[in-house]
Structure 1
Amino acid sequence: MGNESLVLNKKSWDEVAPRFFGRNPLPEYGPLAPREEDLNLLGNVAGMKVLDIGCGSGHSLQYMDSRGATELWGVDLSKTQIETAKELLMGSKAPVHLFESPMEENPGLPLAYFDIVYSIYALGWTTDLHQTITNIHDYLKPGGIFVFSWEHPLHSRASLVGEELHFNKSYHEEGAYEHEAWHAPAIMQQYKVSTYINTLIECGFEIMKVVEDVSLTKEDRERHANRWYSYEKAKMMPTTLIIKSRKKG
């Protein structure tokens, strides 16, 4: 199933990439979620070597460049996204290294090299969470930081009907699923919050912070207004899960 999903997802992302140009990059962690200036999970990135897992159009790497990171590395499954990111990052002050590759594989990234690895709304696309987290652990220096965000596992399990939340699927059910808000055939993975946390621990990470807050300012409401991530639903449950962890050592 893993390889089939990768082929399907690569085709889907190559087709829809323009729709996601610059969508929710750092300093944003997700729709109606707190931003980096609120959370300060990355700290001072000046002088840091950073790696973006699922780098998309490159806007989060552009943000890292603006904050003084010394090396910009990115991995993305989509050829279209990598080409877009290369174009966007042509004027970067820091050197850029981009790889068209699934996150489950190492396309030639150096080991024990990076100060920070992060992934913004991409980790749920992995077909093998344990392998992906193992790879990230291998890429980081001892003491290095890994920060990721993804749609909160509860969010797609419940629908807002009037003023009530109606659960349409069991929270305990994990594995591959087709996301109803995705307009092209694609397979994502559903995991519980505990699965993300326990996988990080099993792979040698220390959990530093777990964030399930929402940000419901007028600006957030206007920027993220759509049928899937609504202000009304976000008042009742988080849209986004954000976890900061550290490689032991």
Structure 2
Amino acid sequence: MDLFKDDLIAVARSPLRHWLTDLPRQLEQWQRDQQHGELPKWLRCVAQLPTLPPEQVDLGDTVTVTSSDVSDGEQNRIRGLLQQLTPWRKGPFHLHGVTIDTEWRSDFKWQRVAPHLGDLTGQQVLDVGCGSGYHLWRMLESGADQVWGVDPGQLFMAQFFAVRHFMSAELQRRAHLFPLGVEDLPELGAFDTVFSMGVLYHRRSPVDFLTQLKAQLREGGQLVLETLVVEGDTTTVLVPGQTYAKMRNVWFIPSTAALLHWLERCGFSDARVVDENVTTLDEQRATQWMTGQSLVDFLDPDDHAKTLEGYPAPRRAVIIAKR
């Protein structure tokens, strides 16, 4: 449990302390039964990162930590260790002179979401499917008191630990990630805001997923949902074949009208679409930090308005609702 010792202490000191009824047991089981074979290597990379006091931290579009006393050797060491944690999908980051140009320009998404959030000051915020935690840092920038990410991806967890390693002690105490899925969470009913960005279409039962998200919110708390959508009315839902844009785990892509209807049926109120746009090749692309195929490889080469399978190209919407 040493891996999460400080995070569990933070839970105990927060309004989420009732989570301790389940969380330590779940993390013990995870450490016993569910570790990825590469995880020890990834954690060794994190442990070997040099400890450098941050002189400047900027949680803006590029999450940045800098210090004037970083030698060329230390910078090369940081770059080499972080490159062993590839592929880096969500970012970007700039850590002591090393720029991690991630596959996704996650700052583009945040720029679409942030104007509609209201005031996060003092809030307990949950990000379901948080990836490497890029948006957790942006939530702290927006005033959140504590940010909590859950994502079963263990490489994402190692990447988050690597970035957190370079943060100030005060920020380290406020940002947390557990290798769990939303289905592992009890009905906490304690978060002021719950984010779920890029997850809904991966769930076999989207209505159950929305219900699970609702169960994490306090009364009056807000849900920020970002997901793939298609054009259409309240009855329009795309159910792809074996793949959508080469992804095998895409189950349901509703229209925004259908999604608003689902949210109402699940008991949310004041649901509204605050943004909708087609994903561009500037937002998702291959880089030196993610050298595999990316969006351009998933689209019809003769018509970028379609996926390789002939479905509408990825269109994403942001919906905000209240419990």
Quick one: distance in 1 between partners of 2:316 and 2:86? 21
Task: Give the counterpart letter for 1:189 in structure 2.
Answer: W
SS at 1:81's partner residue? helix
Contact 2:273 2:319 (8 Å CA) reproduced: yes
Alignment of 1:73-92 (within 5 A): 73-90=148-165, 91=167, 92=171
Matching residue of 2:126: 51
**TM superposition shift of 1:141:** 0.8
Task: Flag the 1:177–1:17 CA change in 2: closer, same or farther, 3 A.
Answer: farther
**TM superposition shift of 1:113:** 0.7
Q: Which has the higher contact order (CA 8 A, sep 6+)?
A: 1
Task: Flag the 1:86–1:229 CA change in 2: closer, same or farther, 3 A.
Answer: farther
Quick one: distance in 2 between partners of 1:50 and 1:142? 14
Deviates more, 1:136-145 or 1:198-207: 198-207
**TM superposition shift of 1:76:** 0.9
Matching residue of 2:253: 191
Contact 1:175 1:189 (8 Å CA) reproduced: yes
Alignment of 1:24-173 (within 5 A): 24=104, 27-29=107-109, 35-37=112-114, 40-90=115-165, 91=167, 92=171, 94-103=173-182, 105-107=183-185, 111-154=188-231, 172-173=237-238
Quick one: distance in 1 between partners of 2:176 and 2:282? 34
Counterpart among 180, 185, 202 of residue 245 in structure 2:
180
**TM superposition shift of 1:69:** 0.8
Contact 1:65 1:93 (8 Å CA) reproduced: no
**TM superposition shift of 1:96:** 2.8
Asked if 1:203 is matched to 2:239, the reply is no
Contact 1:210 1:242 (8 Å CA) reproduced: yes
SS at 1:145's partner residue? strand
**Tell me, which stretches of 5 or more residues in structure 1 are unaligned?**
1-9, 156-170
**Tell me, which stretches of 5 or more residues in structure 2 are unaligned?**
1-34, 40-84, 92-102, 286-294, 307-311
With the length of structure 2 as denominator, give the TM-score of the two structures: 0.53
**TM superposition shift of 1:44:** 1.6
With the length of structure 1 as denominator, give the TM-score of the two structures: 0.67
Quick one: distance in 2 between partners of 1:102 and 1:195? 25
Task: Give the counterpart letter for 2:133 in structure 1.
Answer: G
Quick one: distance in 2 between partners of 1:202 and 1:95? 34
Task: Flag the 1:94–1:65 CA change in 2: closer, same or farther, 3 A.
Answer: farther
- For the aligned residues, what is the CA RMSD? 3.6
Matching residue of 1:239: 315
Asked if 1:18 is matched to 2:83, the reply is no
SS at 1:240's partner residue? strand
**TM superposition shift of 1:61:** 0.2
Percent of pairs with identical residues = 22
Quick one: distance in 2 between partners of 1:197 and 1:215? 19
Note the alpha carbon deviations across 1:127-154, whole angstroms, 9 max, x for none: 2212221111111011100011112235
Contact 1:124 1:188 (8 Å CA) reproduced: yes
Task: Flag the 1:201–1:94 CA change in 2: closer, same or farther, 3 A.
Answer: farther
Bigger Rg, structure 1 or 2: 2
Q: In the comparison of the two structures, how many residue pairs are matched?
A: 206
Contact 1:65 1:94 (8 Å CA) reproduced: no
